[in-house]
Structure 1
Amino acid sequence: MGKVRIGIIGLGNMGTGHAKYLVNNEVKGAELTAICETRPDRLQWAKENLGESVQLFDNLDEFLASDAIDGVLIATPHYDHPDVAIKAFQNGLHVLCEKPAGVYTKQVRQMNESAKASGKVFSMMYNQRTNPLYTKLKDLVSSGELGEIRRTNWIITNWYRSQSYYNSGGWRATWAGEGGGVLINQDPHQLDLWQWTIDMMPKRVRAFCYFGKHRDIEVEDDVTAFVEYENGATGIFVTTTGEAPGTNRFELSGDRGKIVIEDGKLTFWRLRVSEREFNETYQGGFGQPECWKCEIPIEGKEKGHMGITQNWVDAILHGTPLIAPGEEGIKGLMLSNAMLLSTWTDNWVDLPIDEDLFHQHLQAKINQSKVKKDTTYQTLEVKGSH
């Protein structure tokens, strides 16, 4: 295979962004050859802007069965990601899926099983994994510089959204339209990075989600969650769309110090000896380990969406390891599902969650939603930037 022929499903803001860099040949080894979209105005835009060589489809099955593509980039509404991906795998196609992987883990698990059975290359659009701040953090943790993780705290409250934002689309912030609020719409990158950088998922979660607390919406817009890890570490995740000015601060405490990512900087307060060793040997009463404040140099630039797409294409053509394997999309979603389920049941939730119980609660919310859920990806306007 000389080039990977890519078809995009969904031409909203995100799909349009992907189409632009692909048609401009900014991803080596890739060629945009087809678009699947049901809205006539977006197909007309594609016809006028993407060139005659890009085939246009308004039927998903015909698109997937065509001989025009080797892989698909899915940029449809959340609920449809797994279903569309499964169909693509069944048609022998590689898949790159926009985040989140889906709305509930039971559906995403079926997608992962289909991906494995197909043998095709499956990646998630977790473009923040290309951010050198987080790749450096992952390196420091995995190399043992921070020692054993003891606490994780992420305050991510700079997702401010006004009521007019929610009023701009009838599907926004509804259980039937999006399947959740700040956790599923704004936070998928942080939930992914939270577990990816430390290579550790919590063993249980206790969360408090507030629904329509700051805005006239159905879904959660304010969340505080507490988690426990198998090694005894604990963590806090705080998020909202109703706070200004907001904060984005990720703090990790370990046996050998503390790392903070905030305002685009990574700062490491490094202990000269581990806290454990100091505690075992120090005899002076009051006192603490010697600590050095280190401004860690960050090299490279975030490669963003194009970086993930390039990596996916390289994996198809050359077997390059994936930055964001598609099967890992279930991890961040598991965290958001657990937070909602903990709130709905007013109790601790063990991970992995009871997927059937979560789906029952979600279905009850969908049945009460102000918009009717339709299972076809064409029904809801394809969402753009979140």
Structure 2
Amino acid sequence: MDKVRVGVIGLGMGYSHSRSLAEGRIKGAQLTAVCDMQQQKQDMAKAELPQDVKIWGDARKMMSSGEIDAVIIATPHYDHPKEAIFAFQQGLHVLIEKPAGVYTKQVREMNEAAQDSGKVFSIMYNQRCNPLYQKLRELIADGELGEIRRMNYIVTEWYRSQSYYDSGGWRATWAGEGGGVLVNQSPHQLDLWQWVTGMMPKRMRAFCSFGKYRNIEVEDDVTAYAEYENGATAVFITTTGEAPGTTRFEVTGTRGKIVLENDKLSFSRLRVPEPEFNKNFEGKFGQPECWKCEVPITGENTQHDGILQNFTDAILHGTPLIAPGEEGIHGLTLSNSMHLSTWLDDWVELPIDEDLYYEKLQEVIQHSTYQKTVRDTGPEVDMSKSFV
């Protein structure tokens, strides 16, 4: 194989991926087919994409046609796992949009199908291509920060107005999206939180506010506190109702502190590790000598095209994946933990009780306004058609 024939399902988010492929920006990949259930999206694709790109209205038929080698799944959140599983069964390589799914139980089944298939499986965690986060991960892995003690991650630059939510009946509903800011806006940050440190919490206590700032049924404001096996702690804060917002990731270890903010990395490095200083210091007041270090940041932030190229290279050349699809379950575990902790009004141990989460999710879905709309108005507002 010298070219990967790619099909794209979902011409909402997936349309930009289609354009990247159609314009030849991804070496070794060829856009062969696209699929969307909405006639309007099909007409747009016919008018704007190359004429040799086949347009489908049925994703399953496209995936079983034998005309593609790989598929990009940019469908509703709930559909990611089931469409990926079907693709693996057809012998296709798979790249899914974030999040991996809505609940970890379905994502675990997807991961098992991927492993059984032997095909390349990736997820669109394009922020892993950002040199700033790559450098932070490198410094932590190399021990430059020593042992991690505390993390503070503030992600409040997700401002969304009521008109945004009103633009689609599925938006910000349990039946439509399966969550709010944690599932729609913050999956990248939830992934980065655990990816750069290589650490998952042992337990979580979260406070999700549902419809705090907007007339919606899912969470639009979250504060979570996490504890780790080594004694480290973390606070994660996100909202869609704050302006101006902040994105700041602060990681403190025994050898100093790194702050990522405003697309810059600041490294305050202790000359002597804090535990060593504390052991030997005999004065009344004092603290370790601290150096402000200039850390060279090199490389381009290739974003979505970087993941698409890496996915293609993995298929053609066996290149290691930047964002293996199986790792999508980690960030989703964090968001599921926050929901479950709020619903139970208690601590949640990780890994979470997946059956309990699914049970609680079904309870809120039963009261979802979008679920009621689907029941009352019939198939013309089928959820799978309304998302893409």
TM-score of the alignment, normalized to the shorter chain, above 0.5: yes
Task: Name the SS for the 1:66 alignment partner.
Answer: coil
Task: Provide the rounded CA distance (Å) in 1 between the counterparts of 2:268 and 2:382.
Answer: 51
SS in structure 2 opposite 1:266?
Answer: strand
Which residue of the partner structure matches residue 295 of structure 1? 294
User: 2-side partners of 1:370 and 1:360: how far apart?
Assistant: 18
Aligned to 1:277: 276
Task: Specify the SS of the correspondent of 1:378.
Answer: helix
Q: Quick one: which of 362, 381, 384 aligns to 1:378?
A: 384
Give me the TM-score of the superposition, normalised by structure 2. 0.97
SS of structure 1 residue aligned to 2:99: coil
User: Match of 2:306?
Assistant: 307
Alignment of 1:19-38 (within 5 A): 19-38=18-37
Q: What is the DSSP-based 3-state SS (H/G/I as helix, E as strand, rest coil) of the residue aligned with 1:312? A: helix
TM-score scaled by length of structure 1:
0.97
Name the residue aligned to 1:122.
Answer: 121
8 Å Cα contact 2:95-2:121 kept in structure 1: yes
Kept after mapping to 1: 8 A contact 2:85/2:114? yes
Structure 2 distance, partners of 1:61, 1:259, is 47
The CA deviation at 1:296 is 2.0
Distance 1:115 1:376 in 2: 28
Question: In the alignment, residue 183 of structure 2 is paired with which amino acid?
Answer: I
Matched letter for residue 95 of structure 1: V
Compute the displacement of 1:381 (Å). Answer: 2.5
Displacement of 1:295 in angstroms is: 3.2
Distance 1:366 1:379 in 2: 18
Distance 1:249 1:60 in 2: 39
Residue matched to 1:136: 135
Q: Which residue of 2 aligns with 1:250?
A: 249
Give the C-alpha shift of residue 377 in structure 1.
Answer: 6.6
> Paired residue for 2:9?
9
* Distance across 2 between alignment mates of 1:122 and 1:11: 20
Is 1:171–2:177 an aligned residue pair?
no
Could you tell me which amino acid in structure 2 is paired with residue 378 of structure 1?
S
Q: What amino acid maps onto 2:112 in structure 1? A: E
Secondary structure of 1:245's counterpart equals coil
Native 8 Å contact 2:170 2:383 kept in 1: no
* Secondary structure of 1:171's aligned partner: coil
Contact 1:89 1:115 (C-alpha < 8 Å) held by counterparts: yes
- Mapped to 2, the partners of 1:44 and 1:7 lie a distance apart of 17
Any residues of structure 2 matched to 1:47-196 within 5 Å, and which? 47-196=46-195
Tell me if structure 1 keeps the 8 A contact 2:173–2:217.
Answer: yes
After superposition, the CA RMSD in angstroms is 1.2
How far apart in 1 are the matches of 2:146 and 2:383? 46
Q: 1:377 to 1:122 in 2, by over 3 A?
A: farther
Looking at structure 2, the residues matched to 42 and 376 of structure 1 have their Cα atoms a distance apart, in angstroms, of 16
- Structure 1 gaps of 5+ residues are none
1:312 CA drift (Å): 0.4
SS in 2 for 1:293: strand
Cα distance change, pair 91–377 in 1 and its aligned pair in 2 (3 A): farther
Q: Does 1:201 align with 2:207?
A: no
1:241 and 2:247 are equivalent in the alignment: no
Provide the rounded CA distance (Å) in 2 between the counterparts of 1:321 and 1:206: 35
SS at match of 1:246: coil
Superimposed CA distance per residue, residues 126-165 of structure 1 (whole angstroms, 9 cap, x where no aligned partner): 0000001100000000000000000011011111111111
- State how far apart, in whole Å, the 1-side matches of 2:251 and 2:318 are: 33
Structure-2 separation of matches of 1:354 and 1:8: 34
Shift of 1:68: 1.1
AA paired with 2:5? R
Deviation, 1:285, is 2.1
| Secondary structure of the corresponding residue to residue 184 of structure 1 | coil
Runs of 4+ deviating beyond 6 Å:
373-377
Shift of 1:376: 7.2
Give 1:299 shift.
Answer: 1.1
How many angstroms apart in 1 are the aligned matches of 2:382 and 2:74?
A: 14
Number of residues paired by the alignment?
Answer: 381
Partner of 1:228: 227
SS in 1 for 2:288: coil
Q: Could you tell which deviates more after superposition, 187-196 or 48-57?
A: 48-57
Report if aligned partners of 2:176, 2:383 keep a CA contact under 8 Å in 1: no
Q: Could you tell me which amino acid in structure 2 is paired with residue 281 of structure 1? A: N
Deviation at 1:298, TM superposition (A): 1.4
Matched with 2:212 is 213
The CA deviation string for residues 295-343 of structure 1, in whole angstroms up to 9 with x for no partner, is: 3221112100000000000000000000000000000000000000000
* Distance in 1 of aligned mates of 2:281 and 2:350: 38
How far, CA to CA, are the matches of 1:150 and 1:347 in structure 2? 23
CA–CA distance in structure 1, aligned partners of residues 39 and 221 of structure 2: 37
Shift, 1:379, TM fit: 2.9
Tell me the distance in 1 between the aligned counterparts of 2:50 and 2:383.
Answer: 25
Alpha-carbon contact 2:100-2:107 (below 8 Å) kept: yes
Shift of 1:57: 1.1
C-alpha spacing 1:65/1:377, structure 2 compared with 1 (3 Å): farther
Aligned residue for 1:310, secondary structure, equals helix
CA distance in 1, matches of 2:36, 2:148: 46
Q: Is the 8 A contact 1:153 1:250 kept in 2?
A: yes
What is residue 264 of structure 2 aligned with on the other side?
265
Distance of 2:63 and 2:272 partners within structure 1 = 58
1:160-207 CA-partner distances (Å, limit 9, x unpaired): 111111011110000001000000000000000000000000000000
Deviation at 1:282, TM superposition (A): 1.0
Give the whole-Å Cα distance in 2 for the aligned partners of 1:60 and 1:155.
Answer: 38
The alignment status of 1:345 with 2:351, answered yes or no, reads: no
